[in-house]
Amino acid sequence: MSQPESTDDFGRTVREAVCRVGMYAPGEVGAHSEFYGDLGFDSIMYLELMDELEAALPQLGPIYMDELVDHLGSVGQLVTALRRQSPVVLGMTARTGRHPATSNDDLAGDGRKGMPEVSTA
Amino acid sequence: MTEPAGFILDDPVASALVDEYSRQLPEPIRLRGRDGPWQRLRTDLARVGTGVVHAEVGDWLPAEASGARLRRLLGRDWDRYARLNRDDVRARFAASRALLKYAAGAVLNVEPHTLELAYGPTGRPYLRGCPQIDLSLSHTRDLLVVALTRRGMVGVDAELADRRMGPSAHRRMCTPYEIERIERMSPEQRNQDLIRLWTLKEAYSKAIGQGLRFKFTEFGFGPQGRLVRLLLPDGTPAAGDEWTLGSYALDDRYRISVAIYDAGLGEPAETAVDTMLDDSIVSALTTVLGSLSRTPALVRTT
């Protein structure tokens, strides 16, 4: 699988992984989509998502649920959290001087801290 | 019809232990609507300290999805409910909160809408102002489950029994001890056991307020057909008698697991709000009345 080379590719790759797990068409999932309220994700779907992300973004290395659970509010939040792990994107950030979180396609919507419904309630 | 899993032992001494252990686990109660049977739930709380109820989403849907009665019942959860975009998610959210508040209201002997459901820093739900009861909530597809305890902390989780787990699920959720055992199973047995382990792990991690933040590979459980005990990654016991854990097959369709932590609170005789005095209030009253009785002048003038 080819490696994403730009921040837009990175966000798209994550969204595609979300679509595969939730069985959504590509256009149905955006950065603002909330995993629970909009996409109906539950705990086992998060587990599947970790597998999809590891396969699609091998440069990130192992992806652990417990490290990402606080970033599973919206797809944009997840992208931002994953981007912090990405050596490819970190390299681009150093060149452009732009903070990854300000990329337009990945803003996390209302900024509500994600709290997966299934984790505790 | 429910079938408790994990309590099949032939040895008489072990059977006695299992009987004692089983007595602390309630049988899940099916609720078809707002009429209960609430007395069974109250009896379980009084007898074993914990009650578990389950229901179908359809039986607990509000009459009006955006009506004033639902708004009053949901209270502070209303804004969160209103932001949910999917109809099925909204329905489960409303129905689960209704079930939870009616069940807690039955145990506490108060009107459901007077209860305020709040959430801790990790999202763990609790009833504000009702520390005598801990609760947990789970839902999957059409099933809702609520567990309530007065023993300390409780967590509950439910899944479809035949839900397919991914080929690498065991790597993400199992201890080395569990993996060794699971890899010897047929694919069908393996999937069933993964669902059982997943619900047990979720129930336990919800009880301690960690949810998916807790590494599921760092604690485990034994095989089906044995007493359910919390284990370390190598399969050795991780806790004493303070945890009671159970897993149930429900209607051959769902798997429900419950984790109950006994905080050593003893045997409170009553949980109803109107017949229970908070210990701190009793202590304060005792102190004030004691000082009044030692101050004759003050007593005489009042």
CA distance linking residue B74 with residue B96, whole number of Å: 10
CA distance linking residue A51 with residue A39, whole number of Å: 18
Q: Do A44 and B125 touch (CB under 8 A)?
A: no
Q: In chain B, positions 233-292, which contact chain A (CB-CB < 8 Å)?
A: none
Selecting from A38, A40, A121 the residue whose C-beta is nearest the C-beta of B123 gives A121
Q: Do B206 and A120 touch (CB under 8 A)?
A: yes
Which residues are B55's β-sheet partners? Answer: B144
pLDDT in tens, B137-169: 999 999 999 999 999 999 999 999 999 998 889
Selecting from B122, B124, B212 the residue whose C-beta is nearest the C-beta of A65 gives B212
CA distance linking residue B190 with residue B179, whole number of Å: 10
Confidence at residue A116, expressed as pLDDT on a 0 to 100 scale: 43
Q: Do A118 and B214 touch (CB under 8 A)?
A: no
Selecting from A38, A48, A116 the residue whose C-beta is nearest the C-beta of B166 gives A48
Handedness of CA B192, B256, A42, B253 (dihedral sign): positive
Confidence at residue B16, expressed as pLDDT on a 0 to 100 scale: 55
On average, the pLDDT of chain B sits at 84
Give me A75's structure tokens.
């797809």
pLDDT in tens, B194-213: 999 999 999 999 999 988 88
DSSP A50-63: HHHHHHH-GGG---
Report helix, strand or coil for A28: helix
**How high is the ipTM of this complex?**
0.79
User: To 10 degrees, what angle do helices A7-22 and A43-56 make?
Assistant: 140
Give me B263's structure tokens.
């905080």
Confidence at residue B275, expressed as pLDDT on a 0 to 100 scale: 55
pLDDT in tens, B7-21: 344 455 555 555 656
Q: What is the DSSP pairing of strand B29-30 with strand B125-127?
A: unpaired
CA distance linking residue B146 with residue B149, whole number of Å: 10
Q: Do A119 and B140 touch (CB under 8 A)?
A: no
Looking at A23-101, list the stretches that DSSP marks H as alpha helix, in order from N- to C-terminal side.
43-56, 65-68, 75-83, 87-96
What count of other Cβ atoms lies within 10 Å of the Cβ of residue B294? 9
- Which tops the pLDDT comparison, A85 or B174? B174
Confidence of residue A114 (pLDDT cuts 50, 70, 90): very low
Nearest to B168 by CA among A35, A101, A48: A48
pLDDT in tens, B73-96: 999 999 999 999 899 999 999 999
CA distance linking residue B229 with residue B114, whole number of Å: 37
Report helix, strand or coil for B246: strand
Q: Do A40 and B89 touch (CB under 8 A)?
A: yes
Selecting from A37, A43, A118 the residue whose C-beta is nearest the C-beta of B85 gives A37
pLDDT in tens, B269-299: 566 665 554 555 446 655 655 554 444 333 3
